[in-house]
Structure formats: C-alpha cells, structure tokens
Structure 1
Amino acid sequence: MSRTNSVYKKSYNRALDYLATMNEDSLLPPETELADKLNTSRTTIRAVLEHLDESKIIHWEGRKKTILRAPEKSDYYATDETRSASAKVESLFMDYILGSDRAPGTILRESELAREFGVSSSAIREYLIRFSRFGLIEKEPNRHWVLHGFTPSFAEELSDVREIFEIRALQTFCAAPLTKESRAALLELKAEHDDMLANLDTDYPKFSRLDERFHRQLIQAQDNRFIEDFYKLISLIFHYHYRWKKTAEKERNRVAALEHLAVIHALLDGETDKARTAFMTHLQSARRTLQTSVKWD
C-alpha cells in the first residue's frame, strides 16, 4: 500500500485517533478486528501498523502489538493529503476558474492543469469528462478542452432545478429535531457569517465559501447521490462562477449573508415555518442576482 495513497493516509489518521483512546502498554486487537474497527482492508492495516512501528508509536513483534506512546499532532497526515485525487481536482478546478477571468473559448489543456494542480493527467481527464456533461466545457476531437459560454436560459434552467432540490432538502432538514452535530454546524456557520459581516470591507470575498457550506449543510440532509452530483454544478455556477460582475459584489454578499442568517436563526430556534419563508426569499434573491450580476456571453 503506497503511502502517497489518500485511502492509506485516512486509515493511518483513524488509527492514530483509535490509539489516542488507549493507554500506553495496551495491546492492539488482531489485524482483522482492527480492520473492521477502522473500516479498511487488512492490506491497508498492515501498512499502517508497519508505519506505526517505524515511528515508535507501537512495538510490533509477531502477533503482539504494544502501544509505546500517545499520538502527537505531528504524527498525523495533513487534511489536504487525505483527500482523494478527484476531490482535490474538483476543489482546485473551482479555485482555478474563480481566480481568473477566463472568457468563453478559453483552451483547457489536461497536461497544463495536471502540472498546475500537482495531480496526474488521468485524474484531470476523469474530472473533465464527468463535468463536461453539464455543457460548460467540451472536448474537441483528439484535441484540448474548451470552456463554453454561459447563457440566461441556462441560468434559468439551473435555478429551476436548484429550487426543486433545495426546497426538498430544507423540508427534510426541518422534518426531524436538530442533532447535536447539525446544531454545532449551524452555530459555526452563524459565527462565521457574523464575523464576515463585522469585517465586511475586507472579508466580503470569503462569502463564496460560506455560501457553499451553508447550502451543502442542507443538501446533505437528503443523503441523495443524484442531488449531491448535481450540486457540483451548482457550486461552480452560484459559488465560483467565472463571469460574476465585480461591481456591487460587497453589497450583494452582505444581503445574501443576512438572508442566510435569517434561515440559520429560525432553524436554531426550531421555527421551521419561518425558516422555510426565509429560505424561499433567499432562493428568489439568488435567482435575481444570477440574472443581473453575471457577464453574459
């Protein structure tokens, strides 16, 4: 098992978390049981145990695996290293598009993107093929990829489907009491929105990330693979779109952040009807903003 593999690194970090719950001199369970506990394969577990032994975190002799010390922060792989190649490419591609003003007709070359992102050309190709079905990029036969234009009719269709999915997601979110995890996530979002608004002059560009996290928090309640897949397109258009006008961006983000907070406050207070009303207001505002604030091709 290669130690450059994100699956291995996630398993290694989970193993460290597991060791942190045990005392020094404790014995680890057999490999099969450990693989079940960490939800990974025996092959990966053996590689993890070898690394733990090399790092003097455990002593492995025969079937006996003894904990020598508690894991330290420096023992863990960084979060960025544990992401899969596809997740890494998706995030980097969004930032690549967001951080530039690439016009329709822009050429996208797999080899150049691979060097830019530090991933393999095959990972880039797989991502672009999946993303191309939305019609915003297209592969020219035996050549490069081309970034296509974005039209008002495309935006209207996108908004229609977005509202169907997200209204359903909010209904699901409101149908059950808030879990401890959901409440904590909403409180964290609230604090970050408050902080952005308090420092609006400098922090308003951070709203794209906040907007994505706010909507994804609701989408996750659906636990629907088709909605999750479609939401990748939503993320590009609504949160990272390369054709947003920069004029009035600060005010646009301020208004949207306040709309988010209205929904968050209502959800935290258990006022589901109020949350639905506030969310509908936000979706209608997002539709208007998309039509008026994008540089159409």
Structure 2
Amino acid sequence: MPRSNAVFKESYNRALAHLEQAGPGANLPSETGFAERWGISRTTVRAILERLQSQGLIEWEGRHKKVLRRPERAEYFCEEETRTPAEKVEQRFMEHVVGGDLAPGTVLRESELAREFGASPSAVREFLIRFSRFGLIEKQPNRHWILRGFTRDFAVELFNVREMFELRAFEALLAEPPASPARTEFVAMAPEFQRILDDIESAYLDFPRLDERFHHIPLDLLGNRFIDDFFQVVSMIFHFHYRWNKAGEMDRNRDACREHLAIISAIRAGDTDLAQARFREHLASARRTLLLSIQWDNAPD
C-alpha cells in the first residue's frame, strides 16, 4: 500500500485516534474488525499496523496487538495529505468561490478551473456536474458554467433536510449496543476534539474534516444512498462556508468542539435522553451560525 495514498493516511489517523483513546496496555481489534469498522481492505489494515509497529506505538505478534504508548500530534498526517483527488477539487472550488468573493452571474470555465486547481479537466467537469444538481451553478448549453446565488431561502431548505436526516441517524446510533463499532468509533473521537480545543489558535482549521466524520458515523448506519449523496454537498457548503465571513471561524469551531464533547460525554454516561437533547442543541446552534455568518446576496441593505 503506497504511503502517499489518501485512504491509507486518513485511516492511519483514525487508528492513531483509536490508540489515544484506548491507552497503553489496551488490546486492538482483529484485522477484520478494523477493516469492517473503517470500510478499508485488510491490505490497508496491515500497512497501518506495520507503520504503527515501526513507530513503536504497538506490539504486534500474530493476532496479538497491544498499545505501547499514545501517539503524539506530530505523528498524525496533516489534513491536506488525507484528501483524495476528488476532495481536493471540491476544496479548491469552494476556496475559489469564497476567496474570490464571486458574485452571482460569474462565468466559470472548466479549462481555467483545471489549470488553477492543478487538476484534470475531466475531474473538474465531474465535480461541476455533481454540484450543479443543487442549483448553485448552472451549465449554459454548449458553453460555460454560471455561478448562481446562495440565498437565505436555499440555506433554510438545505438545513431543514439536513436536520431530518441527522436526527434519524443519531437515533440509529443511540440504538446501537455500546460496544458496537459505530458507537466505539464515535466516542473515540473525543481526544481529537479535545486536542483542537487545547490548541485552538493553531488547530482550529483541523475542525471541518473532523466534524464531517463526526456527523457521518451515524449517517453511515442508515446505509441510504440518497442521504450519502446529499451530504456530499452539505459538507462542501457548510465546511467551506459558501460566501462565508471567516472572521469568527476560530470561535465557531471552538464552540462546536465543546458541543461535540458534550454529546459524546452523554453517550458515555449512558444517558440517551441527554445525548439527544445535546445533539438537538448542536443542530440548532449550527443553524444559527449559518444564518448569522453568511453574507447574503439577497439580504436587505
């Protein structure tokens, strides 16, 4: 398994988080258990275990795998390295829109975007076609793309659908046994959120990627292809902040980290009513943040 592979690096970071949560002396799951939990091949799992062993993080002999120490922050791959080529196109597109403060009606040309992003024209075209289904960009017949406005009404509609899906998914997570892979992975994210809180000024930009995983773990339990497709666009809009005011991003991410930790704490305590209440509060906070922070094209003067 090539060490430059984004899937390997993302999964390796998740393995480090698992070690941090488990602590020295803990035994690790089987290779099959890791593969099923993270949706990766056993070949990738073995590559991860080999690296963990070479770094002195685990002791590995046959089926015996024991944690020797907790990982240090420097041992994690940086966020940019864990992104697939498709994710990098998504990121560059949203940065292009936000950074350029592009107005509705702006012309977007595939060839120009491909050169700017350092990506193939086909990768850019595939992304634009997928993104266009939600009405934020539109293809002119036999010509270029046009950027459409992101209105307050659109944001409210988007969040209403997101809320329905997420509440159903969170109920499914709470219905899982405490030792299930999904519940275990969910609560194991606590040290990662705490790390960001402890070093918020330099680590707050790590939050969007982690937040995306936090919300996807429950959604993956539903196994619904329509929800999966919808949340690809939700992630782009909410995490790359379409027309977003970046001034308060650090504070927003700090507050969201605290909300996530409160949810995880309630789950650990076995208080499902409190966990649901805190999750609803988190969604309400996310809605307020979105509506207050975006620079609306249709906002009154």
Relative to the length of structure 2, the TM-score reads: 0.66
Of 262-271 and 226-235, the range deviating more from structure 2? 262-271
Shift of 1:180: 5.1
Question: Which position in structure 1 is the counterpart of 2:252?
Answer: 252
| Structure 1 unaligned blocks of 5 or more | 1-5, 7-12, 22-78
Which amino acid is 1:203 matched to? A
| Structure 2 unaligned blocks of 5 or more | 1-5, 7-40, 50-79
Structural mapping, 1:198-209, within 5 Å: 198-209=198-209
User: Matched residue pairs, number?
Assistant: 230
Shift of 1:165: 0.4
Q: Cα deviations across residues 161-195 of structure 1 (Å, max 9, x unaligned)?
A: 11100000101111111445334432442111101
Question: Which position in structure 1 is the counterpart of 2:163?
Answer: 163
Question: Which position in structure 1 is the counterpart of 2:289?
Answer: 289
Shift of 1:142: 2.3
Query: CA 1:141/1:266 → structure 2, altered by over 3 Å: closer, same or farther?
Result: same
Question: Which position in structure 1 is the counterpart of 2:107?
Answer: 107
Q: 1:228 and 1:222 mapped to 2: Cα distance?
A: 9
Rg larger in 1 or in 2? Answer: 1
Question: Which position in structure 2 is the counterpart of 1:235?
Answer: 235
Q: 2:284 and 2:295 mapped to 1: Cα distance?
A: 19
Percent of pairs identical after alignment? 51
Q: 2:163 and 2:83 mapped to 1: Cα distance?
A: 33
Of 221-230 and 108-117, the range deviating more from structure 2? 108-117
State the Cα RMSD in Å.
3.2
Which amino acid is 1:245 matched to? N
Which amino acid is 2:181 matched to? E
Question: Which position in structure 2 is the counterpart of 1:197?
Answer: 197
SS at match of 2:150: coil
Q: Cα deviations across residues 209-267 of structure 1 (Å, max 9, x unaligned)?
A: 22212111221111110000010121122111231112332222221111111112222
Shift of 1:202: 2.3
Q: For the Cα contact (< 8 Å) 2:110–2:144, is it kept in 1?
A: yes
Structural mapping, 1:255-274, within 5 Å: 255-274=255-274
Of 96-105 and 231-240, the range deviating more from structure 2? 96-105
Q: 2:83 and 2:188 mapped to 1: Cα distance?
A: 23
Q: 1:81 and 1:212 mapped to 2: Cα distance?
A: 13
Q: For the Cα contact (< 8 Å) 2:176–2:183, is it kept in 1?
A: no
Q: For the Cα contact (< 8 Å) 1:102–1:242, is it kept in 2?
A: no
Shift of 1:208: 1.9
Q: 1:20 and 1:271 mapped to 2: Cα distance?
A: 34
Q: 2:135 and 2:261 mapped to 1: Cα distance?
A: 33
Question: Which position in structure 2 is the counterpart of 1:150?
Answer: 150
Relative to the length of structure 1, the TM-score reads: 0.67
